[in-house]
Structure 1
């Protein structure tokens, strides 16, 4: 399996490039958490994190705060707000449907399971769209490409779902990790997408 990061270590460098990438991942996660504070900006904040981590891996260079801010701005305020409002509207609709399904209505259990599966699939598709390198140009095309990639790579969907599950477990075990979790999640999404893309030396 091809490594995303080269093994070379510069003279006098205390830690190798893998540790530098780990530190960048945590820093990007913290920046994404701050950018997500208005809540409706969360999808764009995660997409920007995926974009800068993708470039860091592809080009084997460190991430800068200015690069992350520039990526956020590339999405545009309107697209950022529309993405956030759409995501939270979909979430509210699913929660409402689950509440109605759990109100003792006939067939509530299978409906609840179906809604949960639908919500999980929608979340995975949204996360894969956030990992699209062209997400800043429009969320609709990114979602269409995410659907195409998901059909061609169902294993990737399982990996993204597993990453979400692990983040949820970490958050449950230690809530203080919350500001850092967007970094590992963005890294996992990016790694899933890069594993099916040709490397630069193969292209």
Structure 2
């Protein structure tokens, strides 16, 4: 894909389409943060953010709040809750296992490293599933497709892991950025998925 956004600036326009996309990304990040406040809705909030950013990139048009709300509702409340509960239950289990592994038990260090690697792979897989354009039709098929893409595209997994690491670093350096971070993260995983898709017919 030659470019995620076509450069087209009207006469007298101060900022080009790339700046508009950047502003949309931050606005979507704020919307996703609000939608994630119940915590268990976080996976769906990120999936909706990825969906609207995908359309904004593909169709070169701005994002609206109504579009984000519609996309969030399209994933369905029940499946959203189940996905959120599953994610947080898995994270809780990993944290507990890491705590026990670091409690001075024999073999604690290799177990800790193994669990950390497992958690990282799980996060990348979940993010790729959230970026699936068909995630609204079901999380299980989206996870299966994400696993297939991860095997076929390990470089994409590395890029997503790097994006997560950068978000964590930004959060550590400046916690005030937290409400905006879901936007850049959704944009990153969406860009990773789009780079392996065939270009649109628009040129």
TM-score normalised by length of structure 2: 0.98
RMSD value, Cα: 1.2
Which consecutive unaligned segments of at least 5 residues does structure 1 have? none
Q: Residue 56 of structure 2 aligns with which residue?
A: 56
Matches within 5 A, 1:1-203: 2-201=2-201
For residues 40 and 12 of structure 2, the distance between their equivalents in structure 1, rounded to whole angstroms, comes to: 43
Q: Offset of 1:104 from its aligned partner? A: 1.2
For residues 65 and 2 of structure 1, the distance between their equivalents in structure 2, rounded to whole angstroms, comes to: 28
For residues 104 and 64 of structure 1, the distance between their equivalents in structure 2, rounded to whole angstroms, comes to: 52
Tell me the alpha carbon deviations over residues 25-44 of structure 1, each in whole angstroms, 9 at most, x when there is no partner. Answer: 00000000000000000000
For residues 57 and 87 of structure 2, the distance between their equivalents in structure 1, rounded to whole angstroms, comes to: 28
TM-score normalised by length of structure 1: 0.98
| DSSP 3-state at the match of 2:56 | helix
The number of residues matched between the two structures is: 203
Q: Offset of 1:13 from its aligned partner? A: 2.0
For residues 74 and 149 of structure 1, the distance between their equivalents in structure 2, rounded to whole angstroms, comes to: 24
For residues 154 and 102 of structure 1, the distance between their equivalents in structure 2, rounded to whole angstroms, comes to: 30
Tell me the alpha carbon deviations over residues 116-143 of structure 1, each in whole angstroms, 9 at most, x when there is no partner. Answer: 0000000000000000000111000000
Tell me the alpha carbon deviations over residues 87-144 of structure 1, each in whole angstroms, 9 at most, x when there is no partner. Answer: 0000001011111111111101000000000000000000000000001110000000
For residues 142 and 9 of structure 2, the distance between their equivalents in structure 1, rounded to whole angstroms, comes to: 36
**Divergent runs of 4+, >3 A:** none
| DSSP 3-state at the match of 1:179 | helix
